[in-house]
Structure 1
Amino acid sequence: MGDTKTILPNKSGRMPSKRVGLKDVADELGISQTAVSFAVNDKPGVSDETKRKVKETAARMGWSPVYAAQALSSSRTMTVGFVPSRSGGNLQTETFMLHFMAGLHDSLSRKGYGILYRPAKSLQEELSIYRDWSKRKRVDGVVLVDLRSEDPRPKLLNELNIPAVLAGGPDPEDLVPSLSIDDSGTMEKILKHLLAVKRTRITYFSGNRDLDYSKMRVAAFNELSTKYALEFSAVSYTNFDAETAAAQTCSMMNGSFAPNAFIYENETMAAASLRALEQLAFSKTVPAGLQSLDGDQFPHNLPAIVSFEDSFICTATYPSITAVHRDPGEYGKRVANLLIKCLSGEPVSGNRRILQPTLVVRESTGGSGLEADEGR
């Protein structure tokens, strides 16, 4: 007699179960294994009805993909790369980016994709990472943020044949599809509100003069300042540094023709400047012309303050800060869905403008903190 193999129970006392494979699903349905493979991988060649039956049967039988084998057979890694060019410290203070990443993960994970997160300290480092990923076939696609003037990334990714989508934009060369937010319309909402509360001397604190969305916001601010004939308008650049914004804000308040409203590109700059203004108000007399908007609504007769980004920071301060509200998590989901379409071979091009933001009016511009513009 030949040797016999004895199958022993596992540590839990149960007999090990056989892993369900594609052949088992094919045998169950009486179709070919190739058809089952096409169905579970959403490839053309089988009908939608067959795909539905295969997926339902596979789920019922307990089938799950083996990603190592899947990667070998399809040349896919089931990984999407995300390489924001900024320090980790800055990312930790940017609640918009953190929620955006959560949205990316939510949509990508539903399709079996993971995120390879690799922050870079410079644009050149980011470009090097893409070259390395291409050489090692490390990712299936890439999500881009922070489009710059004459940005080399879309061209490089196109040459490396790495699918990519852009959050922002649009890409002037149309090499990568994009989803953008209507910043021009948002800036007009802010200025209309400030004019309604009789603020006509306004300074806008921008982040980085090289970033595409920062440039569009500045252009909109300058154009609208002329359109609405502001008494005074200025733009100041901070490189997103909260201390720089606070110092420049206080310096402007020392002038004889001080602004009576400030707009900040993010909430950390707005909150830091608010605190600095309160300290300044305690230490000296605030220049004339900064009367309260509504009796004692404003502490210390502060100038009006608006943030272009909203987060818990804006409601945790006193006074609470009027801010532009958008849903970064939803934005991340839609960007991820656009990339999934690209990875599935669907024709995708051009720019789509989504997520019309709303302005939440709070105490820093004389509101109750409960008001919001139409559409919220």
Structure 2
Amino acid sequence: MHQSGANASKRVSLKDVADELGISQTAVSFAVNDKPGVSEKTKRKVKAAAERLGWSPVYAAQALSSSRTMTVGFVPSRSGGNLQTESFMLHFMAGLHDSLSRKGYGILYRPAQSLQEELSIYRDWSKRKRVDGVVLVDLRSQDPRPELLNELDIPAVLAGGPDPGDLVPSLSIDDSGTMDKILCHLVDVGRTRIAYFSGDRDLDYSKMRAAAFNELSTKYALEFSAVSYTNFDSEAAAAQTCSMMSGKFAPNAFIYENETMAAASLRALERLSLCDDVPAGLQNDDGRTFPDNLPAIVSFEDSFICTATYPSITAVHRDPGEYGKRVAKLLMKRLAGESVSGNRRILQPKLVVRESTTNGKGEVAADKS
């Protein structure tokens, strides 16, 4: 017999699930919300019955009853255009979404054009009780965000860090160890005049990478080393790279903080090496031309861009999606009331060696200059 239109459109409730199993509605509620008080066997039975009957949570009612919005805020302070070129951040967001959605949470993504705008957004969200927690990225010197979120009583976790005030628990990546791997490789292939193109001098991770580069330059007794800040501007990085290659003491290796700067600089060097007036730093005694006359190039971020260029770019590879998942899981612990503090260092990156630091055949080629 077919159900009537009224009955067919009736929403399945927790009471319907309880009646189906002959248990209390409270037990059903505990089971579907993974709360203590019912056995794992009962939880499995309830969830199976709920799925069979077509029950799904009403998040508006759930928010009213639990004071939760089932939403996590994410407010990176950067322009939308810049974000679209950052493969790491896009995959990081995908990892966040994957982990949060499994717990019924959604992401409220709202990029800000400045730090002050980001702070205003947090104040507005707190006033309207818009989110249950937030994910922070790009820790800065004297960063006001951890203290503000603590005052607003908004749970937060930090991707990066650590937070000097230990107000926000964090998950960080070993940038110092990664820089060591890069310099060790470059020295092994005979490159001892190395320039590092960093991003924003106000970002903690940019400062830590630059500090590690300067410290390790002494360890490896580099003939020449320099750090240049670009504010992640690919055109500026390419222009400065070409300018250095035209100087008397041209670097024979470059490290770039992201893959877009590395690719733009590689393209600029290609044009420079094929022009009529080739700079001394790109000349070879045996008359070889592009790409054999290029300095070694390494990117601190890996993506399809690094394999799409010619020569392909040696790069630091880590899994930003997995990073996002782990950051989301840390926030879920905070929202569940678990005691979480301090910094956890995860994801030891690996250096993927490609043509830009080899002879194009996968074999290491030492510098002859």
Code of the residue aligned with 1:78 in structure 2: it is M
1: CA distance between counterparts of 2:327 and 2:18?
Answer: 35
Q: Is the 8 A contact 1:360 1:369 kept in 2?
A: no
Match of 1:67 among 26, 35, 59: 59
Code of the residue aligned with 1:329 in structure 2: it is G
Is there any run of 5+ residues in structure 1 with no aligned partner, and where? 1-6
Distance 1:290 1:232, change over 3 A: farther
Pairing 1:285–2:282 present: no
Distance 1:297 1:325, change over 3 A: farther
1: CA distance between counterparts of 2:17 and 2:124?
Answer: 38
SS at match of 1:299: coil
Identity among equivalent positions (%) equals: 84
* Map of 1:234 onto structure 2: 226
1:262-291 Cα deviation digits (max 9, x unpaired): 000000101111111111112223325865
1: CA distance between counterparts of 2:28 and 2:151?
Answer: 34
State the TM-score, normalized to the length of structure 2: 0.92
2: CA distance between counterparts of 1:371 and 1:123?
Answer: 46
2: CA distance between counterparts of 1:235 and 1:322?
Answer: 19
Distance 1:369 1:331, change over 3 A: farther
1:215-243 Cα deviation digits (max 9, x unpaired): 11011101110011100101000000001
Query: How far 1:17 sits from its partner (Å)?
Result: 4.8
Correspondence 1:56-205 to 2 at 5 A: 56-205=48-197
Query: How far 1:368 sits from its partner (Å)?
Result: 4.6
* Map of 1:29 onto structure 2: 21
Distance 1:316 1:113, change over 3 A: same
Match of 2:301 among 309, 314, 334: 309
Code of the residue aligned with 1:192 in structure 2: it is C
2: CA distance between counterparts of 1:317 and 1:269?
Answer: 12
Query: How far 1:297 sits from its partner (Å)?
Result: 9.8
Q: Is the 8 A contact 2:258 2:300 kept in 1?
A: yes
SS at match of 1:234: strand
SS at match of 1:323: strand
Q: Is the 8 A contact 1:298 1:363 kept in 2?
A: no
Query: How far 1:25 sits from its partner (Å)?
Result: 1.9
1: CA distance between counterparts of 2:332 and 2:152?
Answer: 18
Code of the residue aligned with 1:138 in structure 2: it is R
Query: How far 1:48 sits from its partner (Å)?
Result: 3.4
SS at match of 1:68: helix
SS at match of 2:337: coil
2: CA distance between counterparts of 1:190 and 1:149?
Answer: 26
* Map of 2:10 onto structure 1: 18
Query: How far 1:253 sits from its partner (Å)?
Result: 1.0
Is there any run of 5+ residues in structure 2 with no aligned partner, and where? 365-369
* Map of 2:40 onto structure 1: 48
Which segment is superposed worse, 219-228 or 340-349?
Answer: 340-349
2: CA distance between counterparts of 1:370 and 1:315?
Answer: 13
Code of the residue aligned with 2:189 in structure 1: it is V
2: CA distance between counterparts of 1:81 and 1:120?
Answer: 12
Query: How far 1:59 sits from its partner (Å)?
Result: 2.0
* Map of 1:251 onto structure 2: 243
* Map of 2:329 onto structure 1: 337
Q: Is the 8 A contact 1:361 1:368 kept in 2?
A: no
2: CA distance between counterparts of 1:358 and 1:238?
Answer: 25
CA RMSD between the two structures: 2.2
Correspondence 1:352-363 to 2 at 5 A: 352-363=344-355
Distance 1:39 1:319, change over 3 A: same
State the TM-score, normalized to the length of structure 1: 0.91
* Map of 2:367 onto structure 1: none
Code of the residue aligned with 1:31 in structure 2: it is I
Match of 1:265 among 257, 260, 267: 257
Q: Is the 8 A contact 1:360 1:371 kept in 2?
A: no
Distance 1:52 1:368, change over 3 A: farther
SS at match of 1:26: helix
2: CA distance between counterparts of 1:209 and 1:43?
Answer: 46
1: CA distance between counterparts of 2:138 and 2:111?
Answer: 13
